[in-house]
Structure 1
Amino acid sequence: MQTQRETTAENSANRDTVRQTVADIARFLQDTFSQRLTAHIAGIEDAKQVGKWCTAQNAPRIDSELRLRAAYQVFQTIEHAENSHIARAWMIGMNPQLDDDSPLQAIAADRFKDVMAAARSYIKGDL
């Protein structure tokens, strides 16, 4: 059963994610993690495409958008429960629940549910 803190963090993150355009999400991830890492998350090799997404010159393929939205939502979930510095560190750090991959690496590998489960565990204090 989820605590009030977990439910509030997840609901706020979900609302934030749904309301953002893909350009806004790409820009946020680029500003937070770098253009190159955002390209990795999205599963593309040309990091310059991220800049084009940020300015809405073009849009990512659906599989890339799914990864970007997942990364944004998980980041927002941790940030709502903690703060942006902790959320960034959590997203790039090794995670034992993800076989020592970082949450960003796991998202790039389409392991969205595993990452959200790890985020919930973190918020609960299980890890």
Structure 2
Amino acid sequence: MNSPSTDGIREHVALMDISSVARGVMTVLGPALVGALTGTGDRALPGQWTRPYGAEPGAAAAERLRNALVQWLRLCAVEDADLARAWILGTNPLLDGGTAISALREDRFEQLDAAVTHFVDGLG
């Protein structure tokens, strides 16, 4: 079961406009990784998503961005930004030896959520 803080993070991110979500993820990961996790493969497109009246990502990319921000905020609730970023970029046996980036791109949100929960609970 999700903790109230995790539910609060999810609710907060769900209410954010997509340009703010994209801006948050871009700040952390940069355009190349955002392009990779959303499956666009385009380094320029994610930057356009960060503008309030710019291009908007498709539904699948938007869902990946929202999930990325939720997991980032969960990680940062227990660790500093450098370790949270390293966790996202590092391989993880709970993600079949892949990274959080690949889990997001492949829409394995439940598996990623479980891996983050395992990490967060281990530190809590």
- TM-score above 0.5: yes
Structure 2 residue aligned with 1:118: 115
The one-character-per-residue Cα deviations of 1:26-63 (angstroms, maximum 9, x if unpaired) are: 11111111101101111102221111111131101001
Instruction: Write out the 4+ residue segments of structure 1 that deviate beyond 6 Å after TM superposition.
Output: none
Q: How many residues align?
A: 122
Please, which of 69, 80, 91 is the counterpart of residue 77 of structure 2? 80
Query: Where do 1:16-31 residues align within 5 Å?
Result: 16-31=12-27
Question: So what's the TM-score if we normalise by structure 2?
Answer: 0.88
Question: So what's the TM-score if we normalise by structure 1?
Answer: 0.87
Give the drift of 1:104: 1.5
User: Residues of 2 paired with 1:71 and 1:22: CA distance?
Assistant: 12
User: Residues of 1 paired with 2:65 and 2:110: CA distance?
Assistant: 14
User: Residues of 1 paired with 2:17 and 2:81: CA distance?
Assistant: 20
- Uncovered stretches (5+) of structure 1, i.e. residues with no partner: none
The question of 1:52 aligning with 2:35 is answered no
The alignment's C-alpha RMSD in Å is 1.7
The question of 1:107 aligning with 2:104 is answered yes
User: Residues of 2 paired with 1:20 and 1:90: CA distance?
Assistant: 24
Structure 2 residue aligned with 1:92: 89
SS in 2 for 1:46: coil
User: Residues of 1 paired with 2:5 and 2:81: CA distance?
Assistant: 13
SS in 1 for 2:25: helix
Give the drift of 1:17: 1.0
Structure 2 residue aligned with 1:39: 35
CA distance 1:62–1:112, change in 2 (3 Å): same
Sequence identity percentage: 24
Give the drift of 1:8: 4.2
